[in-house]
Structure 1
Amino acid sequence: MAQAKPSSEGRPRGRPPVRSDEETKQIVIEAARHAFAVEGYAATSTEELARGAGISTKTLYRLFPGKAALFEAMCADRLDRLLSDVNLQASNQADIETNLAAVLVACADLALDPEVVALQRMVLQQSATFPDLAANFYRDGISRTAAALAGWLRDQVKKKRIVLDDADEAAGMMIGMMVSAPQRAAIYASRTLPSRKEIEKRARICAAILLDGCRGPSA
């Protein structure tokens, strides 16, 4: 009896393509983002993280020294993506108040992003037990946002559009005015984050106060 010929539509021959470490890292980071958001940092085990990413714990530890390093990488990855979308190069053809309002909106897009606020809430909850989490989140997120704004302010000083003695200090004050109250309301009182329209309105008010102050004529 003649043997049946193998079907040309059968399983592909050879080994499946090998995934690079960078690709695997991204898969692990996405799995960690979901696990940390659902279970919290302390309750999430490295075994669960490895299982969620479809890899062994040995591979996980080869890519990330531990859970803290993975959390830091996850925060940095998310913030890198958001910061790459933040455009602080507002048109210099517009007036400085319009420019500043646009820049404050860009900063708020990062600081008031729902996922960033969720990460901040988790960091605050776990900071007493895992103090490095708070330090890393501050370095990778809050400080980098302020540094980006300070760089924009220095550029405006060079162009003689504004006058500032300390751009870094001013950037911290501006970000605080723009986003601190909505962040606190969302984290501590479970308030809804402001809409885009509300953020733009807040930015215009903040820009006007920062540039012109609010002292009345009688004062």
Structure 2
Amino acid sequence: MNGNDTGQTKESASVPERRGRGRPQLRSDDETRAVIYEAARFEFAERGFAAASIADVACRAGVSTKTLYRLIPTKLALFEGMVTDRMDRFVSIVNLGACDGRDIRAALETALLTCADLVLAAEVIAIQRIILAEGDKFPDLAGMFYEKAMQRTVGVLAAWLGVQRKRGRIVLDDVQAAAGMLLGMFMFQPQRDVMFGRRPVPSRGELEARAKTCAALFLSGCAAPVDQSARQSGDA
């Protein structure tokens, strides 16, 4: 009997101890918000602001309605957070991708194409259509989108132009105004064509050709003057 006890003891010792299942590791609130915003983009795009359901957003995000309301108390706050989240990602791309090139024209083309990726994104077009269709009923939507998305896009490009001005590559008095003009020249027609269903989103090749033209036109008007003495010594 003692031998059997010993055998059982050895066998038990050779089997690794099983961990209890317990509860799965929970996401942080910030991670959960990001999932909710992603789900909200689809719901708002498909249904519009008025018809979109908080319960459907929660279901698509895989969270309870109670959790969603704890993190984001109103539908307007959800819409605003969704827009802000998208803009934060856009700003990080611009800051990382378009500010270090020595070739100012190529760098500007890259900056414009990055802006196009945002402005002509299907979800952004859908949001703007919602605002046009429902802005009278929900005036706060238009004001929020103008401030959080439209003006911030201009601000990002203005900051980029400001960096180039500090580096002596361009000469501008008002980078904010210049950024608005540049974006208008590059984006106004394609954006309106898509918004009103006249044309599909331009191909990458079409956007690249447009960016080249706009960058050339813009830089020819604000290029830093070439030092004449340096040019003459170079010619000699």
Matched, 1:41 2:49: yes
Residue segments in structure 2 that go unaligned for 5+ positions in a row:
1-15, 222-236
| 2:71 match | 63
Describe the superposition over 1:81-138 as per-residue Cα deviations: whole angstroms up to 9, x where unpaired.
233223221512x2x3333323222222222222222222222222111121122222
Distance 1:11 1:126 in 2: 54
| 2:162 match | 154
| 2:183 match | 175
Q: Which amino acid in structure 1 is aligned with residue 101 of structure 2?
A: S
Describe the superposition over 1:161-193 as per-residue Cα deviations: whole angstroms up to 9, x where unpaired.
222111100000101111111111101125211
Q: Which amino acid in structure 2 is aligned with residue 91 of structure 1?
A: G
SS at 2:63's partner residue?
coil
Q: How many residues are paired up?
A: 203
Q: Which amino acid in structure 2 is aligned with residue 145 of structure 1?
A: T
| Counterpart contact for 2:99–2:163, Cα < 8 Å | no
Q: Which amino acid in structure 2 is aligned with residue 128 of structure 1?
A: D
Q: Which amino acid in structure 2 is aligned with residue 114 of structure 1?
A: A
Structure ID, larger Rg: 2
Given candidates 18, 23, 33, the residue that maps to 2:26 is: 18
Residue segments in structure 1 that go unaligned for 5+ positions in a row:
1-7, 214-219
The structure with the greater share of residues assigned to helix is 2
Distance 2:119 2:62 in 1: 32
Shift of 1:12: 5.5
Q: Which amino acid in structure 2 is aligned with residue 45 of structure 1?
A: S
| Counterpart contact for 1:150–1:168, Cα < 8 Å | yes
| 1:124 match | 132
| 2:153 match | 145
The normalised TM-score by structure 1 is 0.82
Q: Which amino acid in structure 1 is aligned with residue 73 of structure 2?
A: P
| Correspondences of 1:195-214 after superposition (within 5 Å) | 195-212=203-220
| Counterpart contact for 1:50–1:60, Cα < 8 Å | yes
The change in CA–CA distance for 1:167 and 1:55 in structure 2 (over 3 A counts) is: same
Moved more, 48-57 or 110-119: 48-57
Moved more, 162-171 or 115-124: 115-124
Matched, 1:103 2:111: yes
| Counterpart contact for 1:83–1:110, Cα < 8 Å | no
| 2:12 match | none
Distance 1:164 1:125 in 2: 38
State the identity as a percent. 50
The change in CA–CA distance for 1:18 and 1:165 in structure 2 (over 3 A counts) is: closer
